[in-house]
Amino acid sequence: MAPHHLSGRPSRTTAAALTAAALFAGAAFGLAPAAEATPARAAATASAGSSSSLKFYDIPGSGGITLKGNVFTPAGARAGDRYPLIVFPTSWGMPQIEYLAQAQKLADAGYTVVSYTSRGFWLSGGTIEVAGPPDVADVSSVIDWALAHTPSDPARIGMGGVSYGAGISLLAAGHDKRIKAVVAMSGWADLIQSIYSGRTQHVQAAAMLGAAGQITGRPSAELNQILKEFLGSDLSKEQDMIDWGRKRSPAAHLDQINKNGAALMLGNAWGDSLFPPNQYADFFTKLTGPKRLEFRPGDHATAEATGLLGLPNDVWSDAHRWFDHYLKGADNGIDREQPVQLKSRPQALGSARAGETPSDGSYEGYPSWQAVGAATEKLPLNGTQKIWANVDSGADGGIIFLSSILDQFAKQPPMASIPLLPRSFAAVWQSPAYGEDRRIRGTATLHTTLTSTKESGTLVAYLYDVGPLGLGKLVSNAPFTFHGQTPGRPFPVDLELFSTSYDVPAGHHLALVVDTVDPLYIEHNPLGAQLTFSSPASDPSSLTVPLRKK
C-alpha cells in the first residue's frame, strides 16, 4: 500500500505486470477484459464441451452500489432445483474472470458458483475499502441475490477466494451465519501483523498493493490517508492505523467466527511476501470449529496460480474436497486427515537422507500447529557484539515475490557469504556443523538484550543454512523496530522469525545474522546509531529453533 507521492516506478510496474498476467489468463479462458462491460444477464458458454452454463450479471451490493459478477449454473438445472452455493470475491486488483476455470469445474460437479469483482475495482461500484464493513456487507447482499435469482440452497453456502477474496471470506464467516464452509487461500488473519510485524512497515508489500489499487481501482479517501501515514512513519497516527487494521482482521472477530461455526480451510505459502504464515497459524490454533491448515513452498498466491488457469493443482483439489464434505456431505476422508498439512521448501537433489522422500515430495501431517515444532534446539548467542546502523551488510530478505518464487521453483533462496559479511554492520553467531539433518518446522524465536545509542531503531534478524564454503541460504527472517527507549539502557528483545519448513543437510550449520537495513522494510535508525547485543548471565541470549520430532 502506498500513497501517491511514494508510489515509485518499480512498484507500479510490478503491479501492472501482475494485473496484465491475470488478464492474459482470463483471455486464455476465451473472455477478454472487455467482457467486464457485458450487459447484465448476457449469456456466454463456459467452454467447448462444458455442460455448465455461464452468465454475467449486475449484482446489487451494499449501500446501493453495483457489483460486476458472473454465475455458473449446473447443467440441466430446472425450476425448483437447489444446489450448494459457493461465492468467490475477487483478489486485490483482479476482475471477475479470475475464478472462471475453478467455477466451471465446481458447477460441473453440481454447485452454483457466483463470482464478483470486489467493490472499488474495475467496473464494480464504490471505492476500495480494504475488506472493511462495506465489503463484508457486500457478501451478504450477493448471497441474498443468489438465493433469489439462482438455483441455490440456503442451507448449503460456501465462500472462497485467493488473497483479498480469502480475507473477505473469513470476515464474512463471522458476520453471516448462513456461511457453512470457507476456503481461504493466501489470505490474512491479522492485517497489522502481516504488513506491520515487529512494529516495522513492510514497504515493498505496501507499495505494491497501493500501486495495484491505483491502477485497477479507486482507493477510498480513508485508504489514501492511512497509506500516507503508514509509509510516512507518523507515530502520532500509529494507533489509528492499528485500529483501522484490526477492524479488517478476521482474528479480531474470532469469537463470532467460532460461534457461527463455519468449517474453515486455510492455505498459505511459507514465503508469502504480503501475509507471512505466522499470523495464519496463530489464528488457526484459536479456531474451535472444523478446520484445516495447509502450508507450501512459494510466495503470495503462487501455489494456487496454476489452478486458476485450470491446470491440476493440489490446493484447489483440497478446496473441492473441503466443499464436497462440508456442503454436500461427501465421505471423502478430508475430515479424518491430520488438520495441519505441510510441504517443506524444496532442497537441492541429494539433501534428503538415503532412502527417504525428498523434502519437496509429499505432505507431512500433524494433529495441531503446536505439534509441528514439538522438538526444539536452543542455540546460545554468547558474547557482546556492536554494530553501526544505517548500512546494509549484504544480508537481505530478498525482493518481494521474486525471491520466494526462485526458492519455490529454482531452489535458490536469497543467499549471502557469511564469512564476508562486514562485522561492523552485521552481528553474526554460528552453530557447529551438524552431523545429521536438522528438519526445521515452525517458528524460530530470538531472545537477546539490546542497548542502543538512540531512542529509536530497527534491526532485522536472518537465519541462514550455511554450507561448507560459507555460503548461506536464507531460512527465515523478521524485522523489529523500537521507539521510546532510553539511550544506553539495555532492554530485552523477543522476536518471532517467519514460520517455515526447511531441512538443513548434514555437514551444514546455522548462522544468525542481525543488521539494520533491508529493502523489504522501512528502517528507523537515526544517523550515527549503534546497537549492542549482549548476553547477561541472568538473562542469556539465545535462538530457539523448532524441529520435527524424529
Residue 401 is given by DSSP the state: T
Closest by alpha carbon to 334, among 229, 263, 250, 233?
A: 263
460 strand-pairing partners: 479, 515
Q: Please, are residues 449 and 493 in contact by the beta-carbon 8 Å criterion?
A: yes
Query: Distance between CA atoms of 545 and 379, rounded to whole angstroms?
Result: 8
Residue 311: all three cell numbers together? 491446470
In the chain, what percentage of residues exceed pLDDT 70? Answer: 88
Query: What is the biggest distance separating any 2 CA atoms in the chain, rounded to whole angstroms?
Result: 77
Residue-by-residue DSSP string for 252-317: GGHHHHHHHT-EEEEEEETT-SSS-HHHHHHHHHH--SSEEEEEESSSTTHHHHHHHTTS--HHHH
Closest alpha carbon to 250 in 300, 198, 194: 194
Q: What is the pLDDT of residues 261-316, one digit of tens each?
A: 999 999 999 999 999 999 999 999 999 999 999 999 999 999 999 999 999 999 99
Residue 51: per-residue pLDDT: 77
**CA 480/CA 496 separation, integer angstroms:** 9
Contact 474, 398 (CB under 8 A): yes
pLDDT 10s digits, 26-52? 333 223 232 333 333 333 333 334 479
CA distance 124 to 63: 13
In degrees, rounded to 5, the angle at the alpha carbon of residue 19 between the alpha carbons of residues 16 and 24 is 120
What kind and span of H or E run contains 470? Answer: none
DSSP letters of 202-260?
BHHHHHHHHHHHHHHB-B-HHHHHHHHHHHTT-GGGHHHHHHHHHHT-GGGGHHHHHHH
pTM equals 0.89
Query: Which position has the grid cell 552431523?
Result: 435
> Which of 161, 151, 173 lies closest to 96, judged by CA?
161
Q: What is the residue type of 145?
A: W
495: left (phi > 0), else alpha (psi -120 to 50), else beta? beta
Stretch 242-254: mean pLDDT: 98
Instruction: Count CA within 13 A, CB hemisphere, residue 419.
Output: 5
Identify the DSSP state of 399: -
pLDDT tens readout for residues 91-126? 999 999 999 999 999 999 999 999 999 999 999 999
DSSP state of 170: H
| Percentage of the chain modeled with pLDDT above 90 | 85
- N- to C-terminal Cα separation, the chain: 43
The C-alpha cell at 395 is: 544480508
Sign of torsion, CA 68 72 76 77? negative
Residue by residue, DSSP assigns 49-104 as T--SEEEEEEEE-GGG-EEEEEEEE-TT--TT--EEEEEEEPPTT--GGGGHHHHH
Task: List, for residues 438-495, the tens digit of each pLDDT value.
Answer: 999 999 999 999 999 999 999 999 999 999 999 999 999 999 999 999 999 999 999 9
C-alpha distances in Å from residue 250, one per residue of 27, 72, 113, 185, 287:
33, 28, 24, 14, 11
Residue 361 binned pLDDT confidence (cut-offs 50, 70, 90): low
Confidence of residue 347 (pLDDT cuts 50, 70, 90): low
Determine the 3-state secondary structure of 432 from DSSP.
Answer: coil
Residue 278's closest CA among 196, 375, 175, 209?
196
